[in-house]
Amino acid sequence: MAQTLYTKDHEYVRVEGDVGVVGITDYAQNQLGDVVFVELPTVGKAFRKGEQAAVVESVKAASEVYAPISGEIIDANAALEDAPALVNEDSAGRGWFVKMRVADRTELDGLMDEAAYAEFLKTVV
């Protein structure tokens, strides 16, 4: 069963078996404004937790997206190339960035669950 976890940098990872679907949260897309471009890593590349894995751009800002967990990229959301607006419209769904193979399940323990992230947001707003 899928479980969604969050980082303090406003990335989420939805764990489905040994695959993690990674994107940015609704709060993050709201802060960024209209997303105009997403630079995604190539499939096959491996990242350690916390490494820069993608860049998301609005008109006036470029923000780095860090890998919330360690692992290899097994898929990247090609739809974002033509429709970066998906990140704004449906960040948790069709606006996902990459799918990663979960390399170390213990890393998941360090992430926030939905309730904890909601609490965390109260501290940043």
Partner 1 sequence: MLNNQGRPTGAGAVAENAHARETFTRNRGLAMEEPLIFEVGRLDSTGVDIDEPEPFTQRLGKHARTAPIDLPGLSEPETMRHYVRLSQKNYAIDLGLYPLGSCTMKHNPRLNERMARLPGFGDIHPLQPVSTAQGALELMDTLAGWLMELTGASAVAMSPKAGAHGEACGMMAIKAAIEARGEGAQRRIVLVPESAHGTNPATAALIGYEVRAIPAREDGTVSVDAVRAALGPEVAALMLTNPNTCGLFEPEVVAIADAVHAAGAFFYCDGANFNAIVGKVRPMDLGVDAMHINLHKTFSTPHGGGGPGAGPVVLSPALAPFAPAPFVRRDGSAFTLVESAAGGQAFGRMTAFHGQMGMFVRAMSYMLSHGADGMRQASEDAVLNANYVRVCLSDVMSAPFGERPCMHEALFDDTWLKGSGVTTLDFAKAMIDEGYHPMTMYFPLVVHGAMLIEPTESESRASLDLFIMTLRDLAFSVQRGDVERFSGAPYHAPRRRLDETRAARQPVLRWTKPPPADGSRIAAE
Partner 2 sequence: MRYLPLTPDDREDMLRRIGVDHIDALFADVPADKLLQAPPDLPRRKSELEVERALSRMAARNVAACSVPFFVGAGAYKHHVPASVDHLIQRSEFLTSYTPYQPEISQGTLQMLFEFQTQVANLTGMEVANASMYDGSTGCGEATLMAHRITRRRRAVLSGGLHPHYAEVVRTQSAMTGDEVVSLPPDVRAQEDIAAHIDDDVSCVIVQSPDVFGNLRDLAPIAKACHAKGALLIAVFTEAVSLGLVEPPGAMGADIVVGEGQSIGNALNFGGPHVGLFATRQKFVRQMPGRLAGQTVDAEGRRGFVLTLSTREQHIRREKATSNICTNSGLCALAFSIHMTLLGQTGLRKLARVNHANAVKLADMLADAGVEVLNETFFNEFTVRVKGDAASLVERMAQAGVLGGVPVSRLLPGAGLDDLLLVASTEVNTNEDRAALVAALTQ
Comparison of 51 and 114: residue with beta carbon closer to partner 1:
51
E-strand spans in the chain?
A: 3-6, 11-16, 19-24, 35-39, 46-47, 52-58, 62-66, 71-76, 98-101
73 - beta bridge partners?
100
Question: Tokens standing for 79?
Answer: 């739809």
State which H helix or E strand residue 27 sits in: helix 26-32
Token pair for 108: 């998941």
Of 20-28, 34-42, 63-71, 100-108, which part binds partner 1 (CB under 8 A)?
34-42
Min dist CB 33 to partner 1, Å, is 8
Q: Which does 85 bind (CB under 5 to 8 A by kind): partner 1, partner 2, none?
A: partner 1
Q: Which of residues 41-60 bind partner 1 (CB under 8 A)?
A: 57-59
Which residue lies nearer to partner 2 by CB, 59 or 118?
Answer: 59
> Binding residue for partner 1 (CB under 8 A) from 43, 62, 85, 116?
85
